[in-house]
Amino acid sequence: MKERGKTIITGIAVLMAIAPLLMIARSAAAQNATAWVDIATTTPGVGCVVDVSVEVQSGGDAASGVDVSIALSEDASGDVLSVDRATTNGSGVAWLALDTSAGWNGAKTWMEVVVNGSYLGGKTIRITDGGCSGNSALLTMDGAVSPVRASSPAASPGRSTSSLTSALSSATSGGSGSSSAVMIPNVWTYQQQRGLSCEYAALSIATGALGAWTNEYQFDAVVPLSENPHQGYRGDITGAWGGTDDYGIYAAPLAPALSQFGFKGHLFYGAGSSAELTDSIDMGRPTLVWLGLAGDTSFDDYAADGTRFQLTPYMHVMVAYGYDDGGVYLSDPGTGEYKYYSWGDFMWMWNVMDGMALGVSR
């Protein structure tokens, strides 16, 4: 929220703090799809570029114009080593590659396959001291896939921005059953590694969606510390969630941090209206949103220089990547899951933070 005063609200009930955390997020309506994933080798050496093809069908028909993403992450740490995305051609085939240059001999990794934002499955890839061929694999993955409409900037030159075409035309999308859902493709789920690193984890999700995953720990070195979260990170990032001494950070200091990794941050306050948020998603910008999950429990605090700012117990940050007539689609780093909130529930939480948001672009 902006640096201004807020009415101090006291006497918060424990139930009020807990109840919003129990909200059930609805999944988007989806259509079953099958993907055949052909991996050139499951035991590549370090520095290999491994060809991966993904053929997608639904109802026995090839699904063209589908957004397909793969990611290679190290099992123990969860660090992402390689990400690639492509759109299926007229035969329903997408051509991708895994790059093992960031790996090491002996690393056990997991390759995830995501189709139109829906996780279909994966495969263990062991990085060895060998070559870049041999031990190929052909996998069959089935799952529910959202027939979403991609935001316009998500398209690459020469690629279609349509989602599942005739194969899925009879399906509806959107948590509300609306067929007019707008979503940014390739937005992953990811769970934050520390108790209060949701903001940095959300940046990882947003940058990953734009093709250059930035590890949450990389932001530690480029973001200052400050008692005022409008100026830097407040408190201990390994602290317990819900308090205000160990707390987190607001949007303004994250924009210059993003610029150090080749991204742009677009700060806005959308309190009272969803228009700026939907505009941001329409422009293909995964958008961080600051939410008061326990409602308006806010109070004012003051920096040493007298600057007044708001603190909100149970503040949390998620990435908004889609919307429909009924509500908002989010990737929640707190749980590592996709969420869907109705517009009423979302605005109730977002307005607490004055609709603070940060769109991310390249």
The answer, yes or no, to whether residue 13 has pLDDT greater than 80, is no
The answer, yes or no, to whether residue 90 has pLDDT greater than 90, is no
The answer, yes or no, to whether residue 169 has pLDDT greater than 50, is no
- Domain assignment present for residue 176? The answer is no
Show the domain range for 235.
Answer: 14-26+186-361
Residues 250 and 141 in one domain: no
The answer, yes or no, to whether residue 26 has pLDDT greater than 90, is no
Residues 137 and 219 in one domain: no
- The tokens describing 335, both together, are 């749980």
3-class SS of residue 138: strand
The mean pLDDT of 258-263, rounded to a whole number, is: 96
- Can you say how many angstroms the Cα of residue 128 is from the centroid of all Cα atoms in its chain? 30
The mean pLDDT of 193-199, rounded to a whole number, is: 95
The answer, yes or no, to whether residue 11 has pLDDT greater than 70, is no
- Domain assignment present for residue 260? The answer is yes
- Domain assignment present for residue 181? The answer is no
- Domain assignment present for residue 48? The answer is yes
Q: Which of 144, 171, 198 represents a domain boundary (last residue)?
A: 171
Residues 91 and 213 in one domain: no
- Domain assignment present for residue 3? The answer is no
Residues 164 and 207 in one domain: no
- Domain assignment present for residue 9? The answer is no
- Domain assignment present for residue 177? The answer is no
Structure letter (DSSP) for residue 59:
T
- Of 89-93, 179-183, 317-321, 358-362, the range with the lowest mean pLDDT is 179-183
- pLDDT: which is higher, 348 or 4: 348
Residues 276 and 331 in one domain: yes
Residues 263 and 153 in one domain: no
The mean of the pLDDT values for the chain is: 83
| Residues 270-324 pLDDT 10s | 999 999 999 999 999 999 999 999 999 999 999 999 999 999 999 999 999 999 9
Instruction: Mention every residue, 6+ apart, whose C-beta is less than 8 A from residue 275.
Output: none
Helix (H) or strand (E) run with residue 350 in it: helix 343-350
- Of 158-167, 184-193, 340-349, the range with the lowest mean pLDDT is 158-167
Nearest alpha carbon to residue 23 among 233, 327, 271: 327
- Domain assignment present for residue 2? The answer is no
Residues 158 and 232 in one domain: no
Percent share of the chain, pLDDT over 90 = 62
Residues 21 and 38 in one domain: no
Residues 316 and 194 in one domain: yes
Q: What are phi and psi of 247, to 5 degrees?
A: -135, -70
Confidence of residue 146 (pLDDT cuts 50, 70, 90): low
Residues 205 and 299 in one domain: yes
Name the domain count of the chain: 2
- The pLDDT value recorded for residue 2 is 59
pTM of the predicted structure, to 2 decimals: 0.61
- The tokens describing 139, both together, are 């996998």
- The pLDDT value recorded for residue 185 is 86
- The pLDDT value recorded for residue 272 is 92
CATH number of the domain that residue 134 is part of: 2.60.40.1930
Residues 73 and 127 in one domain: yes
